[in-house]
């Protein structure tokens, strides 16, 4: 099938808008993707649409064209809103289009914390300048800014902005509790936040602003994706985690993370080899060859047991890694000297 074999691309986009009939939009979207032989994931809700799809270059450019001419998105979505990277239909196992309550799963009713209350959007250039300023002030120990990564720990582990605060959380739905538990940390701070493509910041910044403790909240428009297009060798180091079978895309050669077993520099994820577990693991080729292919010793042992047991029983997706990590980490706030500038 020639359409699949050529190098295609993967698109990432979102659009907040009022959707009167999500079911209808969902059916249309599914038919469109099937027609263009696109695979991927699309979330539809009354608050908009969020998707990542892969296919041939011909198919993805047609997709963009159709999306831009869809009356619902007409004056909101533009060409710039589609982030693209090399890939294709093979980057996803299948096509999933569904209706959800939120287009990004933060777990807070959009009626309570709306994307309409977001922080101030900064272009990649503006964000770059802000980070530059932040890093130079921080090196002199006098910054009132927090550079906040609002992604999950396994994403920030393999790539992040220098000097960032990256919460050790497993899901974006833990982000609100992270903010609640660490309000003291954000008090009177300027917060620069970023995520993969910009969408988590839309809700995350709105949530942080709703707490009314920060001085200002800024967010990177278009996310790391757009930043790397302009600054492939800027302040973002390491790989960019993506939610498809590629796991990561690369813009610089830095390796920031290590093999879980031997500590050698390594940043290529594989799924834990234990059947019941869906966690990602960093294990280098030589450790893999030794059979160290699970995310932790508990899983490694379970795997051996499972193989020798009648396949009737399923084990719960819970292991040492998950149990040892606090669901929501509490950051240590050093006692600041009273602010002389006040």
Give the β-pairing of 159-161 and 120-122: unpaired
Residue of 15, 33, 195, 321 marked catalytic: 195
**Contacts (Cβ under 8 Å, ≥6 apart) of 299:** 272, 273, 274, 277, 279, 319, 320, 321
Q: Distance between CA atoms of 259 and 281, rounded to whole angstroms?
A: 8
Is 195 annotated in the active site?
yes
Q: DSSP string of 148-184?
A: EE-S-HHHHTTEEETT-B----SSGGGHHHHHHHTHH
Question: What are the distances in angstroms from CA 266 to CA 35, 54, 300?
Answer: 39, 27, 20
Q: Distance between CA atoms of 320 and 104, rounded to whole angstroms?
A: 28
Nearest to 317 by CA among 260, 280, 275, 283: 275
Q: DSSP string of 286-339?
A: HHHHTT--SSSHHHHHHHHHHHTS-TT----S--HHHHHS-SS--PPPP-PPP-
By CB atoms closer than 10 A (0-12, 13-18, 19+), residue 200 is buried
Give the β-pairing of 8-16 and 48-55: antiparallel
- Where in the sequence numbering do the catalytic residues fall? 195
């Amino acid at each position: 099938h020639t359409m699949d074999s050529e190098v295609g691309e993967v698109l990432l986009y979102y659009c907040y808008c009022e959707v009167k009939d999500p079911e209808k939009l969902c059916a249309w979207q599914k038919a469109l993707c099937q027609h263009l032989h696109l695979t991927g994931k699309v979330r539809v809700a009354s608050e908009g649409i969020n998707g990542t799809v892969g296919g041939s270059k011909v198919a993805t450019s047609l997709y963009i064209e159709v999306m831009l001419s869809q009356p619902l998105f007409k004056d909101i979505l533009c060409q710039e809103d589609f982030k693209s990277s090399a890939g294709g239909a093979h980057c996803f196992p299948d096509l999933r289009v569904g209706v959800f309550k939120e287009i990004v799963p933060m777990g807070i009713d959009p009626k309570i914390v709306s994307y309409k209350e977001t922080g101030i959007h900064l272009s990649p250039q503006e964000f770059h300048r802000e980070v530059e300023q932040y890093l130079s002030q921080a090196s002199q120990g006098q910054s009132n800014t927090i550079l906040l990564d609002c992604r999950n720990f396994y994403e920030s582990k393999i790539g992040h902005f220098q000097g960032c605060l990256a919460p050790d959380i497993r899901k974006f739905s833990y982000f609100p509790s992270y903010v609640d538990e660490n309000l003291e940390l954000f008090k009177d701070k300027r917060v620069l936040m970023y995520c993969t493509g910009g969408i988590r910041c839309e809700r995350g910044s709105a949530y942080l602003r709703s707490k009314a403790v920060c001085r200002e909240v800024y967010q990177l428009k278009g996310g790391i994706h757009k930043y790397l297009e302009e600054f492939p060798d800027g302040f973002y180091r390491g790989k960019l985690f993506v939610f498809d079978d590629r796991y990561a895309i690369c813009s610089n050669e830095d390796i920031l993370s290590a093999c879980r077993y031997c500590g050698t520099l390594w940043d290529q994820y594989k799924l834990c080899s234990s059947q019941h577990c869906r966690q990602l693991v960093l294990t280098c080729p030589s450790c893999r060859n030794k059979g160290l292919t699970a995310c932790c010793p508990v899983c490694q042992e379970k795997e051996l047991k499972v193989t020798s047991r009648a396949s009737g029983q399923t084990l719960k997706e819970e292991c040492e890694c998950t149990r040892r990590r606090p669901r929501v980490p509490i950051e240590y706030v050093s006692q600041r000297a009273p602010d002389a500038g006040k």
